Structure 1
Amino acid sequence: MPVDTGTSRWFLREPSPESGIRLFCLPYSGCGATMYRKWPRFLGDIEVCPVQFPGRENRFREEPYGTYEALADDLVEALLPHLDRPFALFGHCGSALPGYETAVRLAERGYPAPDRLFVSSQVAPHTGPQGRFLEMSDAELAEEVRTLIVQLGGAPRPDLVELSLDILRADVEANKRYHPAAPVRLVCPITALGWNQDVEVDHRLMASWSDCGETEFRVLDGAHYRFMDAPDELLDVFARDLGRPVNAY
């Protein structure tokens, strides 16, 4: 039986002691950690570690976070016991920004730094907030929730839509509140991922990530939700940018 480190609520499964490097994957707006269920657990020796935020799925009784800064404050402490080997952070759209804030907090507290921060389909922190979700009504957001639930392979039952809408609204409000005047430049490199069919965030709007640290830009084939299918092109980026053999999984 795995040892309870006191951080287990942040993970659907405890990170494995067999991994060579851990990729902590933060959930998309309105979603929980199960959104990564199509991803393999291991890419060679890279372990995919989906992170569970408060207020969703098995943590639905907890209050959702109010700001990305508050979320990062708690998340770095939850991650700390698992930073005993190389690691990286991944966030798509609304979760890219708390991913960045988490990297900032790790540096501020003198904790281990990520080998790399992967940000997908999101503008740099000091150039936002940006995106059509910010101006949507609850009815419009509910329709997006239904689409997302179907995309994840579920049935959009009214109770599930209502619960997910509450989470999505909280995420959208946190995004609205987040507008740092100037970015903190990270010590770790950044990979900024855009998608050539993305109508939510045009990849050409992501150039300012270079203000946040040494940044490599990559444009992948697909639309906004393509990442959830774990396309080989995305998995190859993780392996290549983390110095692992490509397609060794």
Structure 2
Amino acid sequence: MSASRWFLREPSAEGAVRLFCLPYSGCGASMYRGWPRFVGDMEVVPVQLPGRENRFREPSYPTYEKLADDLADVLLPYLDRPFGLFGHCGSALPGYETAVRLHERGGPLPARLFVSSQIAPHKGPHGRFLQMSDAELTDEVRTLIVELGGTPRPDLVDLSLEVLRGDVEANKRYRPAEPVRLPVPITALGWDEDTEVDHRLMDGWAECGETTFRLLHGPHYRFMEAPDDLLDAFVADLAG
């Protein structure tokens, strides 16, 4: 499959390290437009998923497992240097599954898996979105669009609702009985003002691999601002 549509921009040959960032539930890769492209010698590489933004005509992935199957193939040509995977909330789970696929296939492994505001895969599914009606999710979509600096126009809300509903259904279907323990270090990032996912619920990640727990300051959506303490965690843990 063509890799170009999976990125808003082709990964550069200049970065010594790549951090592949999966978009938050209901969002596309442009949610990372406010992030720096480079942090030192680490390149931030937003990943564009099917069914959203410039790929809105494509069907969304039905399961995290299916997404990971494709993503492990697409990323392979770009894993020629140290790299990390990052996902926040729902997108942390396909990030983990992608690391599992690379491990199972004997491919290059991430130097670090970063999971933010998400409980371990075998402890879920978890979150208030899972029980919401479309009307309730619509309210969340409007809030999310504003958080991203946009205007919640009706057409944009309707399109984003469809994406968010698909992501929520994929989350509901994801119920691994036991975690695959990865030979990959994990950084579990919690947020001290997060009312969506209490950081104290993230301890199960220790069963998925050697895990470093970091508590950052701010609410659930603060990661969108690329705060310095988050960027510092990426650099420090990838270097480690």
TM range, normalised to the smaller chain?
over 0.9
* 1:40-119 aligned within 5 A: 40-119=36-115
Give the letter for the 1:240 counterpart: A
Give the letter for the 1:92 counterpart: H
Secondary structure of the 1:242 match is helix
Secondary structure of the 1:225 match is helix
Taking only the aligned residue pairs, the percentage that are identical comes to: 75
Give the letter for the 2:191 counterpart: W
Aligned equivalent of 2:8: 12
Aligned equivalent of 1:201: 197
Aligned equivalent of 1:247: none
132, 138, 145: which one aligns with 2:141: 145
Q: Where do 5+ consecutive residues of structure 2 fail to align?
A: none
153, 156, 169: which one aligns with 1:157: 153
Please give the alpha-carbon distance, in whole angstroms, between the structure 2 residues aligned to 1:144 and 1:6. 33
1:118 shift after superposition: 0.1
Give the letter for the 1:157 counterpart: R
Please give the alpha-carbon distance, in whole angstroms, between the structure 2 residues aligned to 1:122 and 1:41. 25
Q: What RMSD in Å do the two structures reach over aligned CA positions? A: 0.9
Deviations 1:100-153 (A, max 9, x none): 000000011111000000000000000000000000010000100000001101
- The two structures have a TM-score, normalised by structure 1, of 0.95
Please give the alpha-carbon distance, in whole angstroms, between the structure 1 residues aligned to 2:169 and 2:45. 26
Aligned equivalent of 1:179: 175
1:199 shift after superposition: 0.5
Aligned equivalent of 1:123: 119
Deviations 1:180-219 (A, max 9, x none): 0000001110000000000000000000000000000011
Structure 1 stretches of 4+ moved >4 Å = none
Please give the alpha-carbon distance, in whole angstroms, between the structure 2 residues aligned to 1:210 and 1:173. 26
1:243 shift after superposition: 1.3
Please give the alpha-carbon distance, in whole angstroms, between the structure 1 residues aligned to 2:173 and 2:145. 26
Give the letter for the 1:155 counterpart: T
211, 218, 227: which one aligns with 1:215: 211
Deviations 1:17-40 (A, max 9, x none): 011000000000000000001110
1:242 shift after superposition: 1.1
Aligned equivalent of 1:135: 131
Please give the alpha-carbon distance, in whole angstroms, between the structure 1 residues aligned to 2:232 and 2:18. 15
* 1:221-232 aligned within 5 A: 221-232=217-228
Give the letter for the 1:127 counterpart: K
Give the letter for the 1:40 counterpart: P
Matched, 1:242 2:232: no
Please give the alpha-carbon distance, in whole angstroms, between the structure 2 residues aligned to 1:69 and 1:155. 33
1:6 shift after superposition: 2.7
Please give the alpha-carbon distance, in whole angstroms, between the structure 1 residues aligned to 2:175 and 2:212. 23
Please give the alpha-carbon distance, in whole angstroms, between the structure 2 residues aligned to 1:10 and 1:75. 9
